[in-house]
Amino acid sequence: MRLFHNLATILLSIMSLAAFASPGEGTAPDSTPAGPKPRVIPWLEVNVPQTALKRWYPESARTRPSARLIDYCLEGLEHWAKVTDTVVVTTKPGKVAALYPELMRRKPPNLSIIGGLKTYILAGTAPEDKRPYNFTDPDGWRLIAEDSKKIVEITGSNVVVLENETSLGSYHNGRATIDCDKLAESLKVLRETGIEFWWNLPRILENTPQFPNRKHETARLVRTIAEALPNCVFLTGFTAWHGWERNRNGEVDRRKMMIELVGLDRMQERFLVTHDGYWHKPEGKKTRRCFTPQEAYGQMKELPGTVFNIYPGGSSWVPTSKVYREKLERNPG
């Protein structure tokens, strides 16, 4: 299996999380033999880095009333630096200069940062954007390419994450369409940068009454991007929630389709992982069951691949980083 070539040296040096050797619940439905010990890359979105933390995560700010979002991010990085040497920190358009220079100055020295962008600068893809919906917007992709080059210049990592949840929202809800031929043409500007782009969405999604052929059309969209950007990687999320292997929403089947479409070497499994195994709202309230670190590690051991993305969410960023660090320090296997 080919590792993501632009990150080969980084990924080979990421510390093994042998401390989390407790198996998770259930067995991942995959006949492919499990790969080497799991290595993790945590991800945090820092969209307004200089804004007060209490505005976005009031419970997290209770013990750090003067903290900004970037300070909270860096607090977590101090713990993650004992667990891994690579972390994803993404932002929104227009915030590259406000985030990455300070982040690179203050981060732990052993930690590499992969930056990234929300893509709702594309015409009509943000809720407040009154222009006609156009995910193929060539001017928008040109601006994303320019910001991506700035991120690479600042971070020194030739990988950029593209976060498309908002920009693909109208399409996924059946309210808009995407011309895949036009998209392939627009994405040439990304290919010309030489950057390896990691895509959070699209992925193959189940059909809905509003979008009855969504599985077919999202597969076509994935194929278009994979062909337009031969070195790109998809952050898939099929395994994200606790119990995914039960296939209640077709996760197992759609994951299999994605593997057949792009191959395992162009996919990075993602897990939603928090310190207590529950997803937390910004004010700290527990909601849906996700993974504890131990459960995620057990699931990762059952899956092929080497590198896994973990997403704790903003409310749980620091608490989850502390749990990972404490467990590793107690069991430095």
Q: What pLDDT was estimated at residue 332?
A: 67
**120-157: buried (b, 16+ CB within 10 Å) or exposed (e) per residue?**
bbbbbbbeeeeeebbbbbbebbebbbebbeebbebbeb
Query: Rounded to an integer, what distance in angstroms lies between the CA atom of residue 255 and that of residue 270?
Result: 12
Q: What is the CATH number of domain 5-121+135-166+177-330?
A: 3.20.20.70
Residues with Cβ within 8 Å of residue 170, at least 6 apart in sequence? 124, 125, 133, 176
Domain boundaries, the chain: 5-121+135-166+177-330
CB distance 304 to 264 below 8 Å: yes
Single-letter code of the amino acid located at 167? S
* Averaged pLDDT, groups of 10, the chain, 333 residues long: 39 36 39 63 98 96 97 98 97 97 98 98 97 98 98 98 98 98 98 98 97 98 98 97 96 98 97 98 94 95 93 97 92 67
Rounded to two decimals, what is the model's pTM? Answer: 0.89
Query: Rounded to an integer, what distance in angstroms lies between the CA atom of residue 314 and that of residue 320?
Result: 10
Pinpoint the alpha helices (H) of 128-250: 138-155, 169-172, 180-186, 188-191, 214-228
SS3 of residue 107 by DSSP: coil
CB distance 305 to 236 below 8 Å: no
Number of Cβ within 10 Å of residue 277's Cβ equals 17
Cis peptide, bond prior to residue 202, ω within 30 of zero: yes
Query: Rounded to an integer, what distance in angstroms lies between the CA atom of residue 35 and that of residue 260?
Result: 18
Q: What pLDDT was estimated at residue 31?
A: 42
Pinpoint the alpha helices (H) of the chain: 8-12, 53-56, 58-61, 69-80, 96-106, 138-155, 169-172, 180-186, 188-191, 214-228, 251-262, 293-302, 317-330
> What is residue 218's DSSP assignment?
H
- Token digits for 97? 């200069």
Query: Rounded to an integer, what distance in angstroms lies between the CA atom of residue 25 and that of residue 301?
Result: 12
Of the candidates 234, 239, 210, 212, the residue with the CA atom closest to the CA atom of residue 223? 234
Single-letter code of the amino acid located at 183? L
Strand-pair partners of 291: 273
CB distance 1 to 35 below 8 Å: yes
What is the largest distance, in Å, between two alpha-carbon atoms of the chain? 55
Q: What pLDDT was estimated at residue 329?
A: 85
